Amino acid sequence: MLAVSNKVATEKEERPNGIPQHVAVIMDGNGRWAKQRSLPRHAGHRSGVSAVRRTVEHAAKRGVAVLTLFAFSSENWRRPQDEVGRLMKLFLEALQREVDELHRNNVRLRFIGARQQLNEGLLAKIDAAEARTSANTGLILNIAVAYGGRWDIVEAARELAGMVANNEISIADIDEDRFAAALALSGLPDPDLLIRTGGEQRISNFLLWHLAYSELWFCDRLWPDFGPAEFDQAIAFFAQRQRRYGHTGDQVGAA
Ligand code: IPE
Ligand code: IPE
Ligand code: MG
């Protein structure tokens, strides 16, 4: 994997040559990938880990500064216990196996989601990986586990309400910037590009607040088959978009 040093630019700063600063990915289709091969669903998840590795390497190579991967949603707890158990075990093993190399490549790892819902063993590994890579200055890799966009917003509301109750801030102090700062991806720019594999064109409770102005790219390819070619297709799509944020096309063109 390439060592990269991508400073997170300010919101107004444009990245060169149409590369999105922050890419978010809904990694969907592991189960169907396995089913097509008459394999158990967990074989699809296992194969999905290789796609994660490829994607992290390629995103870094392309100069993406922040990559946020949806690994397990707040609703995925509803799956059969056996599948959930195997997924948690897989996260633990992948973390154990990959963290050295991620660290060597200057990647900063962050987990977002309801940590208290995870088992102690996994949580300890997550805490250790975050602490170990916290001073790294390359790609910021956020893994969303037990994450839901609604959960995130409710947590932020709870935190801000607590601050008001403690007279740390007033109600009038709550604006969009303060709200965003109370969310799990605090301090990072919103995703410029959202990729979803697996053919579904929905958000499935991912980053509800942050995707307000993201460009959305969907592909039929199942997650274990996702690789650099598909990533580059998504980047090429992104490079063709005119981001207007409510302005007219002429206004943006003249800027
Ligand atoms: C995505 O693949 C991985 C997780 C949600 C954990 P799926 O497991 O949802 O795969 P499909 O959608 O059933 O094919
Ligand atoms: C979204 O995929 C969550 C992850 C990829 C982690 P799902 O497979 O859970 O989404 P739905 O249920 O089809 O909307
Ligand atoms: Mg799915």
Over residues 186-204, the pLDDT tens digits come to 999 999 999 999 999 999 9
Strand (E) positions, the chain? 22-26, 66-73, 108-112, 140-147, 193-196, 215-218
Assess if residue 129 is contained within a domain: yes
The ligand 1 atom nearest the CA atom of 72? 6
| Catalytic residue status for 28 | yes
Q: What is the pLDDT of residues 163-187, one digit of tens each?
A: 999 999 999 999 999 999 999 999 9
| Domain-embedded: residue 159 | no
Query: 72 CB under 6 A from ligand 1?
Result: yes
pLDDT value at position 3? 42
Q: Among this protein's residues, is 106 annotated catalytic?
A: no
Domain that holds residue 127: 22-148+190-242
Cα 55 to Cα 98: distance, rounded to the nearest angstrom: 13
Token couple for 244:
């207007």
The answer on pLDDT for 8 being more than 90 is: no
- Is residue 57 domain-resident? yes
Q: How far is CA 226 from CA 39, 186, 232, 238, in A?
A: 18, 28, 11, 17
pLDDT at 74 over 60: yes
> Which atom of ligand 2 is least distant from the CA of 27?
5
Pocket of ligand 1 contains residue 136 by CB under 6 Å: no
pLDDT at 255: 80
Are residues 197 and 221 in contact, defined by beta-carbon separation less than 8 angstroms? yes
Assigned domain for 84 exists: yes
Asked whether residue 26 carries a pLDDT value surpassing 70, the answer given is yes
- Quick check: 60 and 109 in contact, CB under 8 A? no
Q: Is the CB of 76 under 6 A from ligand 1?
A: yes
Query: Per DSSP, what are the bridge partners of residue 108?
Result: 140
Give, using CA atoms, the residue closest to atom 13 of ligand 2.
Answer: 204
How buried is 90 (Cβ within 10 angstroms: 0-12 exposed, 13-18 middle, 19+ buried)? middle
The CATH number assigned to the domain holding 130 equals 3.40.1180.10
| Of 138, 112, 116, residue with least CA distance to 206 | 112
- Other C-beta atoms within 10 Å of 1: how many? 19
Q: Per residue in 121-151, pLDDT tens?
A: 999 999 999 999 999 999 999 999 999 999 9
Encoded tokens for 190: 């919103």
Mutate to test the pocket of ligand 2, among 27, 28, 91 (most ligand atoms within 8 A of CB): 28
In a domain, 134, yes or no: yes
Q: Ion ligand 3 — residues with CB under 5 Å?
A: 28
Task: Give the whole-angstrom CA distance, residue 205 versus residue 220.
Answer: 20
**What letter represents residue 13's amino acid?**
E
Q: What pLDDT, on the 0 to 100 scale, is given for residue 12?
A: 43
pLDDT band, residue 2 (cuts 50/70/90):
very low
Residue 173 lies in a domain: no
Average pLDDT over residues 98-110: 98
Distance between CA atoms of residues 252 and 163, nearest Å: 39
Strands 22-26 and 66-73: parallel
**For a pLDDT cut of 90, what percent of the chain falls above it?**
92
| Residue owning tokens 């996702």 | 226
* Number of structural domains in the chain: 1
CA distances 183 to 40, 152, 176, 187, 189, Å, are 36, 6, 11, 9, 12
Residue 64: inside a domain: yes
* Measured distance CA(177)–CA(137) in Å, rounded: 24
**Catalytic residue (choose from 76, 105, 106, 136):** 76
The token pair at 196 is 């979803």
Assess whether the C-beta atom of 200 lies below 6 angstroms from ligand 2: yes
* Tokens 């059969």, located at residue: 80
Calculate ∠ Cα 250-17-237, nearest 5°: 70
Between vectors from CA 119 to CA 80 and to CA 49, what angle results, nearest 5°? Answer: 65
pLDDT band at 211; cut points 50, 70, 90: very high
Q: For ligand 2, say whether the CB of 197 is within 6 Å of any of its atoms.
A: no
Q: How far apart are CA 217 and CA 160, in angstroms?
A: 33
Supply the pLDDT for residue 1. 42
Ligand 2 and 72: CB distance under 6 A: yes
Residue 48 lies in a domain: yes
